[in-house]
Structure 1
Amino acid sequence: MTKKNQFLFPIILVTSLFFLWAFLHNINPILIPHLRKALQLSDTQSSFIDISVSLAYFVIAIPAGLFMHRYGYKKGIVFGLILYAVGALLFIPAASARNYPFFLSAIFIIASGATFLETVANPYISILGDKETSEQRLNFAQSFNGVGAFLAPIIGGQFILSGIEHSDKDLQLMSPEQLNSYLQYEADTVKIPYMIIAAVVLLLIVLFIFTRLPEVQADDSELEGHATEFSARVLRHRHLSMAVMAQLFYVGAQVGIGSFFIRYSKFVADISEKDAAFIWGSVAMVGFMLGRFVGTFLMRYIKPGRLLSIYAAVSIVLLIVSVSIKGPAAVYALAATPFFMSIMFPTIFALGIKGLGEETKIASSFLVMAIIGGAIAPVAMGFISDRTGSIQTAYVVPLFCFLIILYFGLKGHKIVHHESDN
């Protein structure tokens, strides 16, 4: 069996994992309004769902890196899948109890599993084959992340959202028994979807246990003298520390743009919530999915750092339009940004771990921790919106984020050799 054929099935199997954490992140726009209704939450309380996910990534990334560093890629994947399945199953008692902290705990556990999977799968895919095509290979795998981003809102909207909407006045007119029955019905709609999710993940666990995955060693040829123990010293590599910063700002931009899109559309173009949600799903998320495939193709001809810079520059132009004008054109300019954001996470990741050898596993933890940006940027946007009365003005936050990514694509990703590495 050739080396290429030896890697084929493991690459296919590991690529399937990219769908799982995409589903986690992109089901949140469905869960947030659904649990807000079912559990009678305030807007602030419902935002804790995003915080639970981001916090899990921040807290669990280093333990995931330590686990992977000690036990290898395969065990890291299996353990991550177990956490994911446990968290999904916990949705069932959480719904029965209609208990929000229980839901948040379940989401935190699912996100912890996704953190393991992302910490393991990104570097594993990047070194599972020819190092010269690592960025292209990672972007191809991340294309299935785009498929998850596209399907999650559709599946969630179909099977979780009931379509029943009562006004506050309607709820006040219900008897306590009627209200309790209605709220329980709403909470229970998550049970079957999350049972199915758990079943699929359990099947993946079995496949990974009985599949032989090569424990590939990263190539140390570019930088030598790497430490083999977990240490923040890995951040001495400038291209990695810059990648961590770029990743933090990218995730912040991604989450911020999506989280406030419906409110933004109403503010600048008086577009209804349903129509705005349709634009987000059919234009923005389809664009995100297609952008991954297009970006993977373009990397055959354009160096990853240069393509990242081009995409960041286009995103900056689109954000300038979005914060400067009103009307449908502003909405569609904002909806176009996910196409250009599509390659950013995997490309920043691959460029950040380039040439790190055994330190690749540790570096991966820091890059995944940067997902905490998804909890920071939206808060900044909300603060600006509250102070100025304009959600449109708040979009200067992702605009600034793209400036940081542009710098990384132009200069920040370049490897600097240190004497201590020789």
Structure 2
Amino acid sequence: MLSNTTPSGRDVLLPMFFIGLMFFILGFVTWLNGSLIPFLKIVCELSNFQALWVAFAFYIAYTVMALPSAAILARTGYKRGMTIALGVMAMGALLFIPAARTGLYPIFLIALFTLASGMTLMQTAINPYIVCIGPRESAALRISIMGLFNKGAGIVVPLVFTALILSGMEHVSEASLGALDAAAREAMRNDLSQRLVFPYAVMAGALLLFMGLIHVSSLREPVLDAADAPADAAPRQGLLQHPQLVLGAITLFGYVGVEVIAGDTIALYGHQLGVAHYGVLTSYTMGFMVLGYALGVLLIPRWLSQRAALAWSAGSGLLFALGVALGSSGESTWSQALLGWAGVPAVPDTVLCLALLGLSNALVWPAVWPLALEGLGKHTAAGSALLIMAISGGALLPMLYGHLADVSGPQRAYWVLLPWYALILFYALAGSRLRRWSVA
């Protein structure tokens, strides 16, 4: 908790406003990847596996930088940590300019790693902040509200990216580029790559503007209770004695992996199926995630416990994953029935099931965090860093998907989703209740 007294409405709402702003920024930057992956696959002439290095470079930063981020927060505090994080993110956005001008894929990856390093510091600050700002039993509710900001940005950004970057690229593909002579192909690749310069320059300016806003804001530094105070010097083995934390971290590893696969490969998969509007398909996934978060806000904790929400998420995830792996990629019957009334362009049934995973994924992160941090006391901050490190699932599992897609085909590769949803179900039913590793 922030203090020993019950927080006033202003004490809760003002921080939630600024943290909601941060979640929107994080979502905007994160869900660019879903549109960026198929774009760079064309521009840099990549295989599925190579294109998904975008996800690896982005999400591996959460493992590399999580513990350094906890150490930075211990020195600077939460508010200054947020301003530093925004500055690092602005540096990453600026690195996209030389990457776009040269068209060199390694520079794109360095820029993505730098962006994500700043986001790691931000995540390490704002996730425990939002958990501790009020009662623990309603923590999933508050995180769900933050998720509306995060995934709402995920709906907007593919539309913006498509309008600014993919406009006029309907007939551009690996095959069409391959039909050009070497000089014409290089000129086309350079022209396409240059389209990234202006948007990322604007992004860098916006991040610096938000950095100044947070610096001059009245956002208060939290005064944590002794039980929740950061313990960066705590022995690492102390964390491993908490099964709910360790299993929670493994669960988040799998969850982030399947979330990134659902959000970042849907455009790639749609492009390979010949979906005309493939650049906006990430918006489908994010739209269902927003619906899931809205349900979380309405139902948790009054009608649905955090564990029950997690179990429902895992069960539905298993069903939709089976739909992706076994459904028809040539028919759009389900899409027309579910979305046709709203005028949303139809997509193949397997693409719809992949998008529906957004609904299943929405409540996993909000539910796992409070369950994993429960009872950690002085190890809460270090436990938060461990959970942030689990975001590396978003780096490794999409790479596995990319390899399987190149070897056995894009649709068959989605079988990789099923064991992770089974793990989430185990954590909901049993793993989150454990408080020691044996009964002896």
Query: TM-score category by the smaller chain?
Result: 0.7 to 0.9
Contact 1:120 1:361 in 2 (8 A): no
Match of residue 96 from structure 1 = 101
Q: 1:406 to 1:219 in 2, by over 3 A?
A: farther
Q: 1:204 to 1:240 in 2, by over 3 A?
A: same
Match of residue 229 from structure 1 = 233
Matches of 2:318 and 2:43 in 1, distance apart? 38
Paired amino acid for 1:252: G
CA apart distance, 1:10: 2.0
Match of residue 201 from structure 2 = 195
SS in 2 for 1:273: coil
Q: 1:357 to 1:100 in 2, by over 3 A?
A: same
Contact 1:244 1:366 in 2 (8 A): yes
Instruction: Show CA shifts across 1:238-277 (max 9, x none).
Output: 111111011001011112234443565689xxx5232555
Match of residue 185 from structure 1 = 191
* Residue 210 (structure 2) pairs with residue 204 (structure 1): yes
CA apart distance, 1:117: 0.8
Matches of 2:178 and 2:321 in 1, distance apart? 40
Contact 2:266 2:282 in 1 (8 A): no
Contact 2:48 2:402 in 1 (8 A): no
Contact 2:71 2:232 in 1 (8 A): no
Which aligned pairs between 1:38-117 and structure 2 lie closer than 5 A? 38-117=43-122
Match of residue 294 from structure 2 = 293
Matches of 1:52 and 1:407 in 2, distance apart? 29
Matches of 1:415 and 1:4 in 2, distance apart? 34
Match of residue 215 from structure 1 = 221
Contact 2:55 2:398 in 1 (8 A): no
Matches of 2:15 and 2:384 in 1, distance apart? 19
Gaps of 5+ in 2: 1-5, 335-348
Instruction: Show CA shifts across 1:67-97 (max 9, x none).
Output: 1133221122111111101111121222223
Please point out which of 398, 411, 416 is paired with 2:417.
398
Please point out which of 141, 144, 147 is paired with 1:142.
147
Paired amino acid for 1:312: A
Please point out which of 347, 355, 365 is paired with 2:375.
355
Which aligned pairs between 1:231-310 and structure 2 lie closer than 5 A? 231-232=235-236, 233-261=238-266, 271-275=273-277, 280-281=281-282, 283-299=284-300, 300-310=302-312
Contact 1:146 1:290 in 2 (8 A): no
Q: 1:174 to 1:350 in 2, by over 3 A?
A: same
Match of residue 430 from structure 2 = 411
More displaced stretch, 164-173 vs 364-373: 164-173
Matches of 1:57 and 1:344 in 2, distance apart? 18
Instruction: Show CA shifts across 1:34-73 (max 9, x none).
Output: 2233334444432221111022111111111121133221
Gaps of 5+ in 1: none
Matches of 1:309 and 1:169 in 2, distance apart? 46
Q: 1:249 to 1:44 in 2, by over 3 A?
A: closer
Q: 1:254 to 1:236 in 2, by over 3 A?
A: same
TM-score (normalised: structure 2): 0.84
Q: 1:129 to 1:340 in 2, by over 3 A?
A: same
Paired amino acid for 1:272: G
Match of residue 315 from structure 2 = 313
Matches of 2:182 and 2:354 in 1, distance apart? 44
Matches of 1:276 and 1:89 in 2, distance apart? 27
Aligned-residue identity in percent: 29
Contact 1:69 1:362 in 2 (8 A): no
Instruction: Show CA shifts across 1:287-342 (max 9, x none).
Output: 11121121121103211111111121121122233333434444233322211211
* Residue 379 (structure 2) pairs with residue 379 (structure 1): no
Contact 1:69 1:361 in 2 (8 A): no
Contact 1:82 1:205 in 2 (8 A): yes
Matches of 1:169 and 1:307 in 2, distance apart? 46
Match of residue 324 from structure 1 = 326
SS in 2 for 1:16: helix
Matches of 1:236 and 1:151 in 2, distance apart? 42
* Residue 354 (structure 2) pairs with residue 334 (structure 1): yes
Paired amino acid for 2:11: Q
Contact 1:308 1:409 in 2 (8 A): yes
Instruction: Show CA shifts across 1:368-389 (max 9, x none).
Output: 11111122222333444455x3
CA apart distance, 1:185: 2.3
Paired amino acid for 1:380: L
CA apart distance, 1:199: 1.6
Paired amino acid for 2:369: F
Matches of 2:177 and 2:305 in 1, distance apart? 58
Matches of 1:173 and 1:403 in 2, distance apart? 47
SS in 2 for 1:293: helix
Contact 2:241 2:436 in 1 (8 A): no
Paired amino acid for 2:425: L
Matches of 1:235 and 1:214 in 2, distance apart? 32
Matches of 1:264 and 1:159 in 2, distance apart? 21
Paired amino acid for 1:98: G
Paired amino acid for 2:310: L
Contact 2:155 2:284 in 1 (8 A): no
CA apart distance, 1:407: 1.2
TM-score (normalised: structure 1): 0.88
Instruction: Show CA shifts across 1:89-137 (max 9, x none).
Output: 1212222233222221111100111111111111111112333422211
